Structure 1
Amino acid sequence: MKLLAAIDSFKGSATSKELNEAILAAVDHPMITEKISIPIADGGEGTLQAIQESLGGDLLSAEVPDLTGALIHAPYLLTDFEGKNTGIIESAMILGIDRINPSEETIRNTTSLGLGILVSQLVNQGIEKIIITLGGSGTSDGGLGFLAGMGALGITKEQENPLLSAETIQLEEALAKLEKVELTALADVTNPYVGSQGFSMVFGPQKGGTPDLLNEMDCQATVIAKELSRYGFGDIASMPGAGAAGGLGGAILALGGQIQPGFPAISKLIGLEEQIIQADLIITGEGSLDTQTEKGKVPFGVAKLAKKNGKTVFALCGKRSVEIGAMASFVSGAYAIQLGPVSLNEAMNREKTIQNIGITGRELVNLFLEGVSYHD
């Protein structure tokens, strides 16, 4: 029998690869003849590593400004996908909210410029396909900094939120740069660019925006959406996903790019379904299993693919809620790995997590195989 482990990272504790390998190393049963580890992510933390594990390629870095203007070495992956030279970027590595203490000052002075500079550099290297993950952004500039970095005119390149000052935007240079490039963003939010569900009103508060400032930003975003829509790629104001990552989604759509849900796109990149078809038992999981798991997260995606192909799947987690939503209908069981009452710090200890998931995974596999032997 073939055992496959595809577990998302337990954030702040252990990586996807570490968790997979802990289970596979702990399982020692003669009925298990093959073990496969599929490092995986949904577009957030660990995405570059997960894709590199499956596709190979070179993990490189470039010096660009982060959202505050500080120069950093931003990682990106160069690989081959479907015969195309492909560059993959985690935007949070440059624009992550973890780089700031959100306040009105930070929302006024952060920009997505560095991401645009990095994408522009990849284009200049002859990259044919660029994939950007949009989760975890600390910016709320409508993606205008990104557009400035791509060569759009009418946008300040100074270290401030360009949404608050831009009026007329010219995209011709940026569009020409992307003429032979396929641009795709991965995002699981479907918010529009403006309005009560737009990026300012929904995501602005967590990034430091006050009610007055957010209203000002939303009004300005309405003006900007009209400017961006002039280029014929749709009504940026209302397009689903345009509000992702503080409006970065809208900027990407305005350049003729696409927005795709994170997990399905990544599972295709790494050939996940093909591996699941060949497996007999699948173990997935994440740090916290709850009713949010069904909102495009890794365990739900893995479980759906497993059920679609008639495979047994179990989920393991650091903690689980009483109710886990639709996830419950796709797994044979969902289990927390803690071996007794523990503090949060102890539960997140890397060594303990790896030990506990190995023990829990081994016992679960043994129990499953006993049932298989009994029915045989």
Structure 2
Amino acid sequence: MRILIAPDSFKESLEALEVCCAIASGFRQIFSDANYTLLPMADGGEGTSAVLSYALGGRWKNVVVNDPLMRPITAKYLLLENKTAVIEIAQACGLHLLTSEERDPLITSSYGVGELIADALSEGAKRIIIGLGGSATNDAGLGMLMALGMRFYDDKGKPLTQGGSALANLKRIDNSKCHSKLLDTIFEVACDVTNPLCGSSGASVIFGPQKGGSSEQVALLDKALHRFATVSKQHGYPDCQNIAGAGAAGGLGFALMTFCAAHLTSGFETVAEAVRLEAHIANADLIITGEGRLDTQSAMGKVAGGISQLAKANGKPVIAICGSVDKLNTVQSTQFDVVMPSIQKIDTIDQIFKDAYSNVEATARNIAAAIKLGQDTT
């Protein structure tokens, strides 16, 4: 039996490769002679670089960049052999880099993302895959563009400061010192967020509060980002503010489309293509996937839902092992042959995270034992 194990990470508890190993360990206790392929997956957010490194190799590059509050930190990105760089923006401007007291979307900056891009360009990258997700910023890529040589001025001719609120005073954009290699580079943005830049479903309103923004700050930021889009259009740049994904990562999607001619695509599809997922599925007898929480949103660009669709298209059975499962009957009947939550008992969330590996392993073993029992009794 050829078994493909291709889960996403379990947030705050297990990396995708750890989930693979736990499932494989449980199944091997029953099917020791099966042929196992471990293929950790991601949907373009945190962990995408690690998944691609596992599947494709490459080398990691550590770079000292500025964090969202312009403090030096060490971030890393992945360089692949085909002059491709893989950058996760959370490495440089992630929400996890700040304490809850430090969160302030008025001033946080994406400058470090631009520094990572500049370093990748200096390494000869001709194609840059950028994973959007987990940002602490709401500056629509202002900081990133500054780090790449662009200059922004207010109506008095003074350079703008860092942070999304500064965009409220934007009057002029100067690209004369923009990085020379920027427009010769292909940018592919892995993004499953469909929000526009501004408005009731825009970056500021939807994501600003989780980044520390009050209702007054959110309103200010929404106007500031709209100002950025307006001035950009006046300077001859394409009008990208209403394109799906423009509001991703505090408006970084907008900046990458507008100033870098980036193409936004499904994060899952980007990773699936890179690791040749469909070929692995076609070669397997059984597919096992999973994620930390399986619910009705799993079909909307998430790993487990995407894998189930490919498995069904290829006529292959698919099992989902998850931390928790919401609305089991709906999820199971529409996507999977078997759905199984892995939590073994009611406990504190910290203990559940701590026991995640053993819980997934035990669940996988029990599923394998049920399959074996079915085989023995037919």
- TM-score normalised to the size of structure 2? 0.91
* Superposition RMSD in Å: 2.2
Partner residue, 1:36: 37
Deviation of residue 31 (structure 1)? 8.1
Corresponding residue number in structure 1 for 2:357: 354
**What TM-score results when the alignment is normalised by the length of structure 1?**
0.91
Q: 1:365 to 1:157 in 2, by over 3 A?
A: farther
**Contact (CA 8 Å) 2:45, 2:131: kept in 1 or not?**
yes
Distance 2:94 2:170 in 1: 23
Secondary structure of the 1:40 match is coil
- 119-128 or 48-57: which moved more? 119-128
Amino acid at match of 1:69: M
Alpha-carbon offset, residue 229 of structure 1? 3.2
Match of 2:156 in 1: none
- 1:12-27 matches, within 5 Å, as 12-27=12-27
Instruction: Tell me which residue corresponds to 1:128.
Output: 126
* Residue 64 in structure 1 maps to residue 68 in structure 2: no
Change (3 A) 1:241 1:171: farther
- Structure 2 vs 1, CA of residues 372 and 165 (structure 1 numbering), >3 Å: closer, same or farther? farther
| Other structure's SS at 2:112 match | helix
2:208 corresponding residue in structure 1:
204
**Gap change, CA 1:287 and 1:105, over 3 Å in 2:** closer
Corresponding residue of 2:2: 2
The alpha-carbon deviation at position 261 of structure 1 amounts to 1.2
Q: CA deviation at 1:216?
A: 2.3
Q: 1:18 to 1:32 in 2, by over 3 A?
A: same
**Among residues 254, 258, 262, which one is paired with 1:250 in the alignment?**
254
Q: Deviations over 1:267-294 (max 9, x none)?
A: 1111111111101111111111122222
In the TM superposition, residue 345 of structure 1 has moved relative to its aligned partner by 2.0
Select which of 299, 315, 322 maps to 1:317.
322
Mapped contact 1:290–1:324 kept (Cα < 8 A): no
What does 1:200-279 align with in structure 2 at a 5 Å threshold? 200-230=204-234, 234-255=238-259, 256-279=261-284
Tell me, yes or no, if the aligned pair for 1:63 and 1:72 is still in contact at 8 Å.
yes
Amino acid at match of 1:52: S
* Residues 103 and 207, structure 1, Cα contact 8 Å, conserved in 2: no
The CA distance in 2 between the partners of 1:360 and 1:149, in whole Å, is 48
Q: What SS does structure 2 have at the residue aligned with 1:61?
A: strand
Identity of aligned residues (%): 34
Distance verdict in 2 for CA 1:110–1:38, change over 3 Å: same
Q: What letter corresponds to residue 74 of structure 1 in structure 2?
A: A
Closer/same/farther in 2, CA of residues 307 and 200 from structure 1, 3 Å limit: same
Residue 169 (structure 1) aligned with residue 173 (structure 2): yes
1:57–1:79: 8 Å Cα contact kept in structure 2?
Answer: yes
Cα distance per residue 1:10-57 (max 9 Å; x no partner): 122121111211221232345853101001111223211111000000
Does 1:113 pair with 2:105?
no
Question: Which whole-Å CA distance do the structure 2 matches of 1:271 and 1:290 have between them?
Answer: 26
Alpha-carbon distance change, 5 to 302 in structure 1, aligned in 2, over 3 angstroms? same
- Please tell me whether the aligned partners of residues 106 and 221 of structure 2 are also in contact (alpha carbons under 8 angstroms): no
CA, structure 1 residues 330+18, in 2 after alignment: closer, same or farther (shift >3 Å)?
Answer: same
> Match for residue 87 of structure 2?
89
Find 1:149's aligned residue among 144, 147, 150. Answer: 147
Helix, strand or coil: the match of 1:87? strand
Change (3 A) 1:354 1:298: same
5 Å matches for 1:331-350?
331-349=336-354
Change (3 A) 1:158 1:218: closer
Change (3 A) 1:206 1:31: closer
Change (3 A) 1:59 1:193: same
Give the superposition deviation at 1:145: 0.9
CA displacement, residues 141-164 of structure 1 (integer Å, 9 cap, x when unaligned): 111111111111226575544424
Q: Give the secondary-structure state (helix, strand or coil) at the position aligned to 1:35.
A: strand
Distance (Å, rounded) in 1 between the aligned partners of 2:188 and 2:202: 20
Q: Among residues 361, 364, 368, which one is paired with 2:367 in the alignment?
A: 364
Residue pair 1:293, 1:324 contacting (<8 A) in 2 also: no
Instruction: Give how far 1:252 is off.
Output: 0.2
